[in-house]
Chains A and B, each alone.
Chain A
Amino acid sequence: MSDRRTENKIEIRDLTMAYGSFVVMRDITVSVRRAEVFVIMGGSGCGKSTLLKHMIGLKRPAKGDILYDGVSFVNAPEEQQQAMLRRFGVLFQGGALWSSMTLAENVALPLGEYSGLSAADIHELVKVKLALVGLSGFEGYYPSEISGGMRKRAGLARAMALDPDILFFDEPSAGLDPISSRNLDELILQLRDSLGATIVVVTHELDSIFAIADNALFLDTETRTMTAQGNPNDLRDHSEDPRVREFLTRGEVRSEPAPSAS
């Protein structure tokens, strides 16, 4: 087990993201270990969500590579990419549930397409997934009939449908009340601990960042590149970059990094 934990699950190498000739971020190199919660943070509009879209194959990088388990995702042939995508689960910002289907159908669709399980087994699994996110009994509801927070949780149940190795969360706490947001954070940690999933979270919520992140990446809007990587607690106290410390202390800048405790 211990050797697995040190393995790199995700590696981003020298990634440059661009919309046409407009470069969003350049020279991002980072690695994420297995069963780790990795947070992508930064100010609004810095390209956090864009990085996530690159990681899940919705956008192609202008330069560089993204590797999962040491295999290039960017350069993989179409079929292999599809197979890799099946090991991802993505929770989109607004849940992105398919509005013409009930919650149960939303979760069951990927299972029906890819798992080969019988309808009865799928029904059982769907119940379990919805129970895990606290939505037992809402199987027959349509997304338009439930609240935004519930939609988000249902989106998570769908993201977990295929028991993915890697879960991606785009702004999980956006639009949630503090308690729901905290419950979601705990759920994220539970998923990591219980199922050994690697988790990538895009967020700028400081409370969440400190609560869940094992490893974090800071994207800086002005320099258009990553300026820090590491555990957010360390970064807050010891980062060389004042902007990173400013971000992590909600703008209460400390002019000098605190002396290293160790």
Chain B
Amino acid sequence: MDLHPGPPQLSVTQEAGDTLKVSLSGDWVSQPGMPGLQEVRNGLDQGTKTLTFDASQLGQWNTGLLAFLLRCLALAEERKVTFEGDALPEGARKLIGLAQAVPEKKDARRQEARPGWISVVGQRWIDRFAGAREILTFIGENILALGKLVRGRAQFRWSDTLVVVQEAGPEALPIVLLINFLIGLILAFVASVQLTQFGASIYVADTVAIGTVREMGCIMTGIIICGRTGAAFAAQLGTMKVNEEIDAFTTFGISAVEFLVLPRMIALILMMPLLCVFADAVAILGGFLVSIAMLDVSATEYINRTIEAITLQSFLLGLGKGCFFGILVALTGCLRGMQCGDNAAAVGQATTSAVVAGITAIIAADGIFAVVTSVLGI
């Protein structure tokens, strides 16, 4: 087989009886610079009736030769020239047969007509409304599932919930503590720069205490949990969707919302307020350290101001918001997971979309809370 090494070459000769002979030599192994079809095409255009081959000088070959031969065959068929492949290696002839065994599926190629801009805009709005409807349906399903749970009739396991509690609560605590501690430091720094100008540096304690307990504690915790746990929910449920596990639940008559979403929802409703308490505490600790280190405020003074500044109302408001943000994170994470498409890329999109939607929802909801509480004077 190694008798004729060398690059693939071909020569085309016109023979008697309107026959075109293509002689192949060298190793026809796919590589850059394989001989083109031009010579064969030119030869065929000169009124040839039959196309034959001479493969006696052919060395090794692989599908590179096959690609060439199939193109020759296509050219011959276009020009109604007889294709005589008898001189080709037996394997090549068999593979040509194999490649033609299943005719090309013409209608398999999709012609995608470009829609006009009106239909693009229209389609986009229709999709929007469908999406909004899906969200409302999902929220409705969750409320029904919660109702069932209260009546003790939900298909729901506390053991699953405890696993999610472990993942979303204790395992998230270190990062929640770190971020909120830093937020406390930053708040104290920013406040101290302004307040010392008025000789009111003691009010740094108020700023930090009210700022964290009412707003920053729950918002930062919500955002961290959204990026950490909400993304995990979307990825888990999305992967289950891809593996048809969700379909498997459906065929057993088990509600995916009750069995998968409810435990996650409950876990976050339980864990978010607790995380918020820790978040508030470390943020105040951060402000405390900055104040006693950099301002002439004594530790007792700072603690007293802090205790005075925090009312039960604002503390409970913070926890309540944390709870609500937990519901938002569970809803967006699980909804995007359940809406996931059926391939690996879709899981990534579902996760991204869950985090974006979750954070947006948290910030928007906090804005609404701010307006409502100020109107109500809480």
Contacts and interface: CB of A to CB of B under 8 A. Distances in A.
12 contacts: A117-B30, A124-B67, A125-B63, A125-B64, A132-B99, A135-B102, A138-B105, A190-B94, A193-B91, A193-B94, A194-B95, A195-B95
B106 A163 contact: no
Contacts of A187: 98
Contacts of B94: 190, 193-194
Contacts of B64: 125, 163
A142 interface: yes
B32 A137 contact: no
B103 A128 contact: no
B66 A138 contact: no
Interface in A105-150: 115-118, 121, 124-125, 127-129, 131-132, 134-144
A128 B99 contact: yes
Contact of A115 (B31, B70, B98, B109): B31
Given A99-B343, A137-B106, A194-B92, A131 B70 contact: yes
Contacts of A116: 31-32
Contacts of A125: 30, 63-64, 67
Q: Sort A-B residue pairs by CB-CB distance and give the 6 closest, nearest first.
A: A194-B91, A99-B343, A134-B102, A136-B104, A137-B105, A131-B99
B101 A128 contact: no
Contact of A134 (B30, B101, B106, B109): B101
B374 interface: no
A1 B3 CA distance: 12
Contact of B344 (A99, A138, A163): A99
Contacts of B102: 131, 134-136
B349 to A, nearest CB: 10
Q: Is the interface of B mostly helix, strand, loop or mixed?
A: helix
A100 interface: yes
B342 A144 contact: yes
B100 interface: yes
Question: How extensive is the interface on chain A, given as a class?
Answer: 35 or more
Q: Is the interface of A mostly helix, strand, loop or mixed?
A: loop
B110 interface: yes
B31 A132 contact: no
Contacts of A137: 104-106, 108-109
A142 B101 CA distance: 23
Interface string A151-195: 000000000100100000000000000000000000100100111
Interface of B: 1, 29-32, 34, 62-64, 66-67, 70-71, 90-92, 94-95, 98-106, 108-110, 341-345
Contact of A142 (B63, B104, B343): B343
Contacts of A140: 109-110
A190 B95 contact: yes
B39 to A, nearest CB: 17
Q: Give the most central of A100, A117, A131, A140: most B CB within 10 Å.
A: A131
Given A121-B30, A137-B109, A163 B345 contact: no
Contact of B67 (A128, A138, A193): A128
A128 B63 contact: yes
Interface string A3-44: 010000000000000000000000000000000000000000
B73 to A, nearest CB: 11
B67 A132 contact: no
Q: Give the most central of A121, A142, A143, A187: most B CB within 10 Å.
A: A121
A131 B95 CA distance: 10
A128 B106 CA distance: 16
Nearest to A100: B345
Contacts of B100: 131
Q: Give the most central of A98, A127, A128, A193: most B CB within 10 Å.
A: A128
Nearest to A120: B36
Given A116-B31, A121-B34, A128-B66, A190 B104 contact: no
B62 A190 contact: no
A216 B207 CA distance: 78
Contacts of A98: 344
Contacts of B343: 99-100, 142-144
Contact of A129 (B31, B63, B101, B104): B63
Contacts of A135: 102
